[in-house]
């Protein structure tokens, strides 16, 4: 069997949830498990976040996966429904939805009235992505309030710059959220991971952690361990070949890397076909036998090369960690001009997920 696999450390997941509880002790936790649990396997992740008060997903397909996997907590559809026909499924699977647009209001007002569903009414506090504008928000609230097929109405918004502690944007969004909601009743939610870590005044009734549950920091130049978070995914493979290269020889497609000394190259069975980033720069660290070795040359679809050094004693079959507890995925992201989110979500179906309790 190809040795390329992603080990999912379930105890780390539970630990990270307990850190969220410590950081936001007065809030309930809506664990965000969209995009297949950020690439970690949505059902297994949700089962091991059993202590979460609710789960959040991006679409009804993900919600149904959770229900079919035996998850009984409330599940929130972060973008609500995409068409009116989904409302039946919302009721059937007992889901909660975000309402962010006039057309969703119309669908709701036309829906049958024999079921109640909780609604998360979304304010666009100037991220300019989803939500009602401050001018329209209260009217939307009152309109919902008059519908008899609605359970409780909750109030939410989303931050554009919570990962930037130097920016005024979050304070402005917070002020707007608070003032627009001033006279409205309902539980409130605003904080993603960055706001949980950096903006305690934004915690409100419900926090919505995503990336931090998986052990990563959303804050620039930080890694999860700076916040006592534990890395959940170990992306691993093995060395499958070792070869000497002489000074001046090149490695890989485009002959993009040249040996500056007589050295040894190791070939690892992982590539962009597995979700290892094609744009990882020369020198991106890779963990091998207790040290970091540099990526040498371009990432291929199924393989990468690393420089072992002239004295490297590594041999085929040795375990390699691309990211995990030994090497933060945030570091690999930085070398690849991307963010940890895309690397975790981008692990492809060719990579076997292996869930481990410890």
Ligand X SMILES: *Cc1c(COP(=O)(O)O)cnc(C)c1O
Active site residues per annotation: 34, 253
User: With respect to ligand X, which residue has the nearer C-beta, 65 or 193?
Assistant: 193
Q: 354 is written with which tokens?
A: 């292996």
Q: How many residues bind ligand X (CB under 6 A)?
A: 12
Q: 155 is written with which tokens?
A: 């109030």
- Residue of this chain nearest to ligand X (CB atom): 210
Q: 279 is written with which tokens?
A: 């744009």
Write the interaction track for ligand X spanning residues 147-166; mark x where CB under 6 A is met and - where it is not. Answer: -----------x--------
DSSP letters spanning 51-100? T-SEEEESSHHHHHHHHHTT--S-EEETT--SSTTHHHHHHHTT-EEEE-
Q: Which stretch binds ligand X (CB under 6 A): 145-153, 166-174, 191-199, 344-352?
A: 191-199
Q: 242 is written with which tokens?
A: 């070792």
CA distances from 221 to 12, 199, 243, 325 (A): 21, 17, 35, 17
Taking CB under 6 A as the rule, does residue 32 contact ligand X?
yes
Taking CB under 6 A as the rule, does residue 78 contact ligand X?
yes
Q: How far is the CB of 209 from ligand X (least distance, A)?
A: 5
Taking CB under 6 A as the rule, does residue 97 contact ligand X?
no
How many CB atoms within 10 Å of residue 73? 16
- Candidate list 193, 217, 237, 263; residue touching ligand X; CB under 6 A: 193
Q: Please list every residue from 217 through 256 that binds ligand X, using CB under 6 A.
A: 218
Q: Are 12 and 231 in contact (CB under 8 A)?
A: yes
User: With respect to ligand X, which residue has the nearer C-beta, 162 or 251?
Assistant: 162
User: With respect to ligand X, which residue has the nearer C-beta, 16 or 237?
Assistant: 16
User: With respect to ligand X, which residue has the nearer C-beta, 208 or 264?
Assistant: 208
DSSP letters spanning 241-288? EEEEE-TT-EESGGG-EE-SSSEEEEEES--GGGT--TTPPTT-EEEE
Residues that bind ligand X (CB under 6 A): 32, 34, 78, 158, 192-194, 208-211, 218
């Amino acid at each position: 069997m190809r040795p390329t696999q992603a080990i999912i450390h379930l105890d780390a997941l539970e630990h990270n949830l307990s850190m969220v509880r410590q950081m936001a002790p007065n809030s309930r936790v809506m664990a965000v498990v969209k995009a297949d649990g950020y690439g970690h396997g949505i059902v297994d992740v949700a089962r091991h976040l059993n202590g979460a008060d609710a789960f959040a997903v991006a679409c009804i397909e993900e919600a149904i996966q959770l229900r079919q996997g035996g998850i009984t907590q409330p599940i929130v559809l972060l973008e609500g429904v995409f068409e009116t026909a989904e409302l039946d499924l919302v009721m059937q699977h007992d889901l909660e939805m975000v309402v962010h647009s006039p057309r969703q209001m119309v669908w709701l007002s036309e829906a049958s009235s024999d079921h109640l569903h909780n609604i998360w009414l979304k304010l666009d506090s100037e991220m300019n992505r989803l939500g009602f504008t401050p001018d329209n928000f209260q009217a939307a609230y009152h309109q919902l309030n008059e519908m008899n097929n609605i359970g409780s109405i909750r109030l939410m918004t989303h931050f554009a710059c919570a990962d930037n502690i130097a920016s005024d944007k979050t304070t402005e969004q917070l002020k707007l959220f608070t003032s627009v909601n001033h006279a409205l009743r309902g539980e409130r939610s605003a904080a993603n991971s960055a706001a949980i870590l950096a903006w305690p005044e934004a915690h409100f009734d419900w926090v919505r952690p995503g990336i931090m549950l998986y052990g990563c920091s959303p804050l620039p130049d930080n890694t999860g361990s700076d916040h006592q978070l534990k890395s959940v995914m170990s992306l691993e493979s093995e060395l499958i070949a070792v070869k000497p290269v002489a000074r001046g020889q090149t490695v890989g497609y485009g002959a993009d890397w040249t040996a500056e000394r007589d050295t040894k190259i190791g070939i690892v069975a992982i590539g962009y076909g597995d979700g290892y980033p094609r744009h990882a720069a020369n020198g991106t660290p890779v963990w091998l036998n207790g040290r970091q070795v540099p990526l040498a040359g371009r990432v291929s679809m199924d393989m990468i090369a690393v420089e072992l050094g002239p004295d490297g004693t590594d041999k085929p079959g040795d375990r390699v960690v691309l990211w995990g507890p030994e090497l933060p995925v945030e570091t690999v992201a930085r070398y690849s001009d991307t963010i940890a989110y895309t690397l975790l979500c981008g692990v492809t179906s060719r990579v076997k997920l292996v869930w481990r309790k410890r």
